[in-house]
Amino acid sequence: MAKGRERTRRVEPRFEADGPADPAILDLRLSRGDRAGGGVAKGTAKSTAGGAGKDAGKRAKKPARGRAVAAPRRRRSLLGHLVHATLILGLWGLVAVAGIVAYHASQLPPIDQLAVPKRPPNIAILASDGSLLANRGETGGRTVSIRELPPYLPRAFVAIEDRRFYNHLGIDPIGIARAIAQNLTRRGVAQGGSTLTQQLAKNLFLTQERTASRKIQEAILALWLEHTYSKDEILALYLNRVYFGAGAYGVEAAAQRYFAKPAKDVTLAEAAMLGGLVQAPSRLAPNRNLAAAQARAAQVLAAMQDLGFAKPNDVTAALAQPAKPARAAGGGSANYVADLVMDVLDDYVGKIETDVSVQTTVDPSLQGIAERALVDELNQKGGRFNVAQGAVVAMRPDGAIRALIGGRDYAQSQFNRATTAKRQPGSAFKPFVYLAAVERGLTPDTVRDDAPVSIKGWSPENFSRSFSGPITLREALAHSVNTVAVRLSQEVGPKAVVQTAQRLGITSPLQANASIALGTSEVTPLELVGAYAAFANGGTGVIPYVIASVKTVDGRSVYKRGPSGLGRVIEPGAVGMMNAMMHEVFASGTAKKGDIPGWDLAGKTGTTQDFKDAWVVGYSGTLVTGVWLGNDDNEATKRVSGGNLPVEVWNRVMTAALRGDKPVPLPGAARWRRGGNAVAAASPGEPQTLGGFIDSLVGGSPPPSRPPVPPRGGPSREDKNFLERLFGID
């Protein structure tokens, strides 16, 4: 038994070659007492594994099977400490950033409620030929799609503003790093780090303040935009919202504002200039700083070539012929038309909620001619005659406005004198007096006495300060004899004169007093020209209009003008007599300087007290034009009368407008020409009267309605009181 037990005795190996055992390791080894049955075998066993002669207590003991030996603990290096600290700080930094982002995100609307704001509607105001006169609305131009634009236009913005636009997710760390490097290299802010998406987010949702909070929200919104829209949709939104200065939002508005053309027609050089403009619209506007705008455009072209967006030959050509600003055909004066359109548009279509185009009746060529005629006259003679302002209205006989100039320079004064300024018309009001008289039986050959007249202490005098004695109405109107006009007004009654003027379309308040005959009640140029249209068209009253139609951008009709007007306001016979009398104004009277050979013209001049207002309203069978000159502060001019400067402007406008047209006779005028030679037939569409039929047979003229009155002398100027001098002006 003893041998058996001895034979099965477990012998521990010895590791003499390992050297002295580490106390820490020995602590982990089992002693005999720790083993099960460890006390049975005592020091009788013999080791056969080498190491005899060694003390058993000093022998190295093998660790228990399955138990790892602990590695020596090493001291951490400085680099390790730094890495460890960096990881910890980075982790906490991420937590902090996440918290900040979450906080600022909470200040934004919920994602499910976030939406791109609707772009304010644009109102494109078009000329009669479809060309653009002006844009109105908050943006200054209509919305355009990427498909409408030449490919190089959107690429210009990508090249200079965000060359990695199609590769990032709304935020571009690489672009930010590149911008920082370039700014440090150039020692200034040469390039920004915001992507096009970030710029769009700012324009759509945020204010323009420069704060860390805004930048964080901008980045969050940029990520949302990228998640919600495609790249082309984002680019289209950007191109239609970005600000280009001068009230132009979007490429369409900018192209019209700076190059007088739609965005679809801009050249590569112009596209590059627009692309560079958004960096600093006020500093780089080509109409303010052309050299800076062209230099910036060159940078854009270089970037486009570098990215392969433009061919080298095309870039070279664009650099050789850099873009230059252009002015619209109607010039600045087209804005007066646009203002009138906006004043009346609500009456036709109500509230505008989408982009619309308004087709007007304005001829852009005539608009430009009228503007230049007025401006040139004031530039050349305004200083010498002390006259600073004016207005021009040209209208078809049916009331369609063909040109409207509300002042000398829209940029300096937006006050529309053509539609808003109420001024005394002076003798230009006399046709209403004569019409009232003709409608009560008088004719162009009726004789009245040009002699002093006194009405309740008021004694008007003539422009010439003299009297001619008996004179026909034809001559009295042609030479603007004040005394005869006052006598006629008294015969028919001032109230009848007022009613006649109102019947023809005058809407301003009129005072039914004795001085109404000399045009002392104020009217606007537009309503006076509109009232004269009834003479030009044969007796039909008109309502002046400028809007022909309104459509949405997709072609849906919103408004189309139909037949309208005041109906017949003058009988054909009276129209013929008035046209014959007013024809003499241009043939031999106060507007003789304005006569155009080959054309039947008629109208009337007017001048007010102390030469404060000077007028001429004249017409052919196809166009009615009125001109007013004066000063906004009502200061007297230096003898500007209706027969000098206004007639010169009028003649220039009408000569250009009628050039190439076939002359059209004035309705009914031929029957009442000077000399009494009546025609055998009435004008087309005009019924012939019994008197006209008899006249055509005998070839005579109607007798004067009363015998001549012997001439009488009048009081000297020294005897006239203030009221006489006040109203005694042509």
353 in catalytic set: no
* Neighbour tally for 181: CB within 10 Å: 11
* Neighbour tally for 693: CB within 10 Å: 13
Query: Residue 471 and residue 458: Cα distance in Å, rounded?
Result: 22
**DSSP-assigned beta bridge partners for residue 557:** 551
377 in catalytic set: no
Q: Exposed e or buried b for every residue in 715-727, given b needs 16+ CB within 10 A? A: eeeeebeebbebb
Candidates 128, 357, 365, 427; catalytic one: 427
Query: Residue 440 and residue 437: Cα distance in Å, rounded?
Result: 5
Burial group, residue 424, by CB count within 10 angstroms (0-12, 13-18, 19+): buried
Residue 704 near residue 446, CB atoms below 8 Å: yes
Q: Phi/psi at 408 (nearest 5 deg)?
A: -70, -40
Give all strands (DSSP E) within 252-365, no chain letters: 356-360
564, two tokens: 């309208």
117, two tokens: 């704001």
* Neighbour tally for 508: CB within 10 Å: 14
Residue 628 near residue 395, CB atoms below 8 Å: no
- Hey, CA dihedral for 353, 355, 361, 367, is it positive or negative? positive
Angle between helix axes 290-306 and 312-320 (nearest 10 degrees) is: 170
Candidates 128, 161, 461, 701; catalytic one: 161
703, two tokens: 């007798």
Region for residue 22 given its phi and psi (left: phi exceeds 0; alpha: psi -120 to 50; beta: otherwise): beta
Query: Residue 465 and residue 462: Cα distance in Å, rounded?
Result: 5
* Neighbour tally for 599: CB within 10 Å: 18
Q: Report which DSSP code applies to 407.
A: S
In Å, what is the CA distance from 182 to each residue of 179, 412, 646? Answer: 5, 43, 62
Catalytic residues: 161, 427
